[in-house]
Amino acid sequence: MTGPNQPPYPVRDFDGVPALVTGGASGIGAAVATLLMGRGARVAVLDRDPEGAPEGALALKADVTDDAAVRSAVDHAAAELGGLHVVVGNAGIGAAGTVEDNDDAEWQRVLDINVLGVVRTDRAALPHLRRAAAERPGQVSITHTSSIAATAGLPQRALYSASKGALLSLTLAMAADHVREGIRVNCVNPGTADTPWIGRLLEQAADPAAERAALEARQPTGRLVGAGEVADAVAYLASPRSAAVTGTSLAVDGGMQGLRLRPA
Ligand code: NAD
């Protein structure tokens, strides 16, 4: 984990708060789980491959494409942690190619994970969140991990971008549906974040070190985003400090989307 979220953590603003992070056994999700625990939360990690879940988290094996498994993992997490106040819908996979490169089966496979996986998690969690909202107004939230791909028009990412764009719209619609229930819904849009996912992509290159350097050079900041830096944004959106924030997306992308830099 890189970025400013190394222990010791400055605040314990999640003391006793029960939280669920999907895809929390690796990368951004693991950084979120670690950060929330460091700030006092009780955390369950739902992952199809939960071995990498951070120490101290309740690790639950479930695939977000399996509605019954998601429901049972979410209910189990709520029973073990004493309810659910924070949900982070983060599990997702990548997909490369133009719209012609992926057939229907591949579109359905990726959308099933990246979009419906989040829908299934939220649907299972909402009854628990509703109960929590009565007790802790302002501290009951859902945060989705969308992507810069939702807003930037990246080449060779048609399917992935469509999946993350759907999460952006889902975030807005859900924020409207649940605002009067005291449940906030937001998303983070990471840029290229230094996680095992990016590591796997780089390993496929002929020269991974050169490919990493080229990737870094394309970032306005000259470096990749740290998983811990994305986690910091998620923690803000899940904390009472953002009690007035709902239906928004927070880009953590080193300026990738917003800046128009002149070539050096
Ligand atoms: P990662 O591969 O390191 O971690 C993803 C985790 O999700 C893994 O633990 C994996 O087992 C889990 N997962 C995947 N499919 C699952 C399924 N069907 N059911 C349950 N768990 C599943 O990836 P990461 O880089 O940490 O990405 C996390 C999220 O951030 C993803 O939604 C991704 O789209 C998004 N994101 C990543 C980047 C980046 O550059 N790394 C940029 C923008 C958005």
**Predicted confidence (pLDDT) at residue 207 exceeds the cutoff of 60:** yes
Can you tell me the mean pLDDT for 168-192? 97
27 contacts: CB under 8 Å, gap ≥ 6: 193, 195, 196, 197, 227
263 pLDDT band (50/70/90 cuts)? low
State which ligand 1 atom lies nearest to the alpha carbon of 112: 18
Q: Would the pTM count as exceeding 0.90?
A: yes
State which ligand 1 atom lies nearest to the alpha carbon of 192: 40
1 pLDDT band (50/70/90 cuts)? very low
Could you give the CA distance from residue 116 to residue 14 in angstroms, rounded to a whole number? 28
Range in 8-22, 82-96, 166-180 the model is least confident about: 8-22
List pLDDT tens digits, range 102-146.
999 999 999 999 999 999 999 999 999 999 998 887 789 999 999
What is the per-residue pLDDT for 110? 98
Can you tell me the mean pLDDT for 230-239? 97
Atom 24 (ligand 1) nearest CA: 27
Could you give the CA distance from residue 159 to residue 153 in angstroms, rounded to a whole number? 12
Could you give the CA distance from residue 56 to residue 44 in angstroms, rounded to a whole number? 9
Which residue numbers are catalytic? 160
**Predicted confidence (pLDDT) at residue 2 exceeds the cutoff of 50:** no
134 contacts: CB under 8 Å, gap ≥ 6: 182
Ligand 1, CB within 6 Å, residue ranges: 23, 25-29, 47-49, 63-65, 90-93, 113, 117, 145, 147, 190, 192-193, 195-198
What is the per-residue pLDDT for 136? 80
**Predicted confidence (pLDDT) at residue 9 exceeds the cutoff of 60:** no
What is the per-residue pLDDT for 137? 75
Return mean pLDDT, the chain. 94
Q: Hey, how many other C-beta atoms are within 10 angstroms of the C-beta on 179?
A: 13
